[in-house]
Amino acid sequence: MSSPDGACGPPQEAAGTPARRLLGVPRQRRRPAAHHVEAGETAQHTRAAGRAARRDARRAAAGTLAFVESPVQLLNVLEWAYREQATDLTVVVLAPHDPMTRGQLRRMAELAREEGFSVRWEEARGGASAPLRTIGGLTPRLRRAGRVVIGDPFSRYVQLLLTLTGARDLVVVDDGTATMEFITQLANGERLVRWHRHGGRGPRDLLFAFAPCAAAARRRLTPGGRRTVALFTSMPVGPPPGITLLSNEFAWTTRRFGPPRLTRGADIVGTSLVETGVVDPDRYLAAVAALARDHGATRYFAHRRESATKLHRIATETGLEVVRPDLPLELIARRGPVGRLVLSFPSTVVHTLPLALAGTGVGVAVCDIDPTWLTSKASPRAESFLSGVTGTARGVRRLPAAPAPPSAPGTPGAEPPHVTPEATGTPDSGNKRNRY
């Protein structure tokens, strides 16, 4: 229809009225202005940042939670706390079965309490229900903790606990030479397996066989996002990118104890390489006898895991006084008395004793492990790992593998051996006997 002036226009019934919406076409909503969108997103980010800050504040207020399973781990936690000036620290001892280890842990727990720290003793392996009871009791603390310190990343117990924590800061302290293997495996993305094992599962591992904790723990041990990972160590390692390296100089040990009184003879430090199936027992005893004969050693400081049978053989066949320390050797040597020369096979002490005994005049020597001493059950990595432990030690004298003695160790008419089943008590307790 045309208008009177001939121009075309809308139908009369539509003129001056809103346009009708076509059927089936959705109504178009008015979009907010761009500055309104940006303001909304900024507000959301602000609220999220506020929640994160409050969460971090709660975790910081909850303090630091440290998990240890051996005396050396607890010693290194104390060294870390001294270096970092940590105050609100709770040490959780996941107690093992071995009596010697438990005894040393109790002594170290006493020292930790003397330093003002809280110690929580968990019978984590005391029966079938113990793991569930322990984990259930620790979960609330784990979720609140702002920082978690661990000593054994290979422990399946610790791996499971790591999956339950939301802590932003994670610290790994030394667990001896195992730290070297841990760093290598973490850098290569490998499964965390102790160097002297073939990778099989033992009865204790069956408890966690179906828990997907190993891979999750490895991810937790890898820094990313807002999560930090630090390594506190005295080992000669280079951590993967992103992991902060903190040097352990044993400052707490040297401040608290010593310097030691030196004796004229030499001391031999024992190792558990026989007990772990790496070294043949007869070869080991022959090497100990040769070291004692060539260097005038008079005492043998037993490793906490050495068997009573082997120690009895060492005492009766070599004439050495066997001492079973009630504390890590770093503390025993620092408080003294100690020989002017300490002889050791490849182990943690070839890296830690030069630091703990710095400036005392005590020398440390390490005896290589001959490949012929290894058993058929030894891991394929054993030879290279032990060689690396010896080769990277700083401030020690390296000795060739001790040759077998010309005759059977121990001769008729030799002075009867003296066996000291236990060392004295805590460093400040004089001659008090151990009371476990």
- Tally Cβ neighbours within 10 Å of residue 253: 25
Q: In this predicted model, what pLDDT tens digit does every residue of 207-240 receive, in sequence order?
A: 444 446 777 888 888 888 788 999 999 998 888 8
In one-letter notation, the amino acid at residue 405 is: P
Backbone Cα Rg of the chain = 32
DSSP state, residue 129: T
Q: In this predicted model, what pLDDT tens digit does every residue of 299-349 receive, in sequence order?
A: 999 999 999 999 999 999 999 999 999 999 999 999 999 999 999 999 999
Copy the structure tokens of residue 364.
């440390």
CA distances from 391 to 73, 86, 378, 388 (A): 23, 34, 20, 5
Q: In this predicted model, what pLDDT tens digit does every residue of 134-159 receive, in sequence order?
A: 999 999 999 999 999 999 998 888 98
- pTM score, whole prediction: 0.77
- Tally Cβ neighbours within 10 Å of residue 90: 18
Q: How far is the C-alpha of 278 from the C-alpha of 1, rounded, in Å?
A: 106
pLDDT band at 175 (very low <50, low <70, confident <90, very high): confident
Residue 265 in contact with residue 296, Cβ under 8 Å?
yes
Q: How far is the C-alpha of 282 from the C-alpha of 310, rounded, in Å?
A: 10
Q: In this predicted model, what pLDDT tens digit does every residue of 86-136 receive, in sequence order?
A: 999 999 999 999 999 999 999 999 999 999 999 999 999 888 888 889 999
CA atoms within 13 A on the CB side of 402: 25
The predicted pLDDT at position 417 comes to: 43
Q: Answer whether residue 419 shows pLDDT above 90.
A: no
Backbone torsion region of residue 283, taken as left when φ is above 0, otherwise alpha when ψ lies between -120 and 50, otherwise beta: alpha
Residue 323 in contact with residue 423, Cβ under 8 Å?
yes
The predicted pLDDT at position 203 comes to: 44
Residue 193 in contact with residue 185, Cβ under 8 Å?
yes
Please return the burial class of 316, using the count of CB atoms within 10 Å of its CB with bins 0-12, 13-18 and 19+: middle
The predicted pLDDT at position 217 comes to: 81
pLDDT band at 418 (very low <50, low <70, confident <90, very high): very low
Query: Which residues lie below 8 Å from residue 32, measured CB to CB, with a gap of 6+?
Result: none
Q: How far is the C-alpha of 180 from the C-alpha of 174, rounded, in Å?
A: 9
Q: How far is the C-alpha of 262 from the C-alpha of 191, rounded, in Å?
A: 44
3-state secondary structure of 113: helix
The predicted pLDDT at position 6 comes to: 47
Phi and psi at 359, nearest 5°, equal 80, 5
- Tally Cβ neighbours within 10 Å of residue 224: 10
Domains of the chain with CATH codes: 56-248 (3.40.50), 259-420 (3.40.50)
Q: In this predicted model, what pLDDT tens digit does every residue of 41-83 receive, in sequence order?
A: 666 666 666 655 555 555 455 689 999 999 999 999 999 999 9
3-state secondary structure of 231: strand
Selected residue with higher pLDDT from 337 and 400: 337
In one-letter notation, the amino acid at residue 44 is: Q
Q: How far is the C-alpha of 164 from the C-alpha of 206, rounded, in Å?
A: 20
CA atoms within 13 A on the CB side of 120: 14
How many residues belong to the chain?
436
* Angle between helix 130-144 and helix 34-62 axes, rounded to 10 deg: 130
- Tally Cβ neighbours within 10 Å of residue 106: 19
CA distances from 45 to 50, 72, 186, 226, 228 (A): 8, 45, 34, 16, 22
Residue 380 in contact with residue 278, Cβ under 8 Å?
no
Residue 81 in contact with residue 89, Cβ under 8 Å?
yes
Phi and psi at 157, nearest 5°, equal -60, -50
